[in-house]
Amino acid sequence: MKKGVTSGKRLNHEPPSVTAKLGWRYHHIGIPHTQPRAQEHHVAHLGVHVAGFETSPYGIEWIRFEPHCRVPEIVRIVPHIAFAVDDLGEALKGREILIAPTEPSVGVRVAFILDDGAPVELLQFYTAKAVRPKTRRAAER
């Protein structure tokens, strides 16, 4: 059984156990599609075109994959829900990993898991620490 997740049935008024018990926070829903959309932008290094993320009040992100994009087929055809987590490594323990952790951009680590046939994206945000170059005087000490 996954850490912190009970096998009991959830009542209608209860939130999912990953939010209620593990502290995961809703981030967005990603919906794959095949036709260009207004105001989509190209994320060349990932091989995707995205639209809606910045403007949707509900966190809806439309994703169009380029043929060379290297993601599992299920991510290309099935919508996914995404959660922000405090510790990606901990959140992945005991789960079926679909896409191993990557760092698609500075300040975020991302992985996908598969839960009951559905892709779920997990994101861990962090602040990159600035590294101050050593001054000549400090290097001479």
* Residues 5-49 pLDDT 10s: 656 799 999 999 999 999 999 999 999 999 999 999 999 999 999
Give domain limits for the chain: 17-140
pLDDT average, residue stretch 62-77: 96
Q: Is 117 exposed, middle or buried (0-12, 13-18, 19+ CB in 10 A)?
A: exposed
Q: Compare 106 and 8 and report the one with higher pLDDT.
A: 106
Cα torsion 117, 121, 122, 125 to 10°: value is 180
CATH class of the domain defined by 17-140: alpha beta
Please tell me the predicted confidence (pLDDT) of residue 7: 60
List phi, psi (to 5°) of 56. -75, 125
Nearest to 51 by CA among 33, 37, 71: 37
Q: In the prediction, which pLDDT does 132 show?
A: 59
The answer, yes or no, to whether residue 118 has pLDDT greater than 50, is yes
- CA separation for the pair 30, 10 (Å, rounded): 24
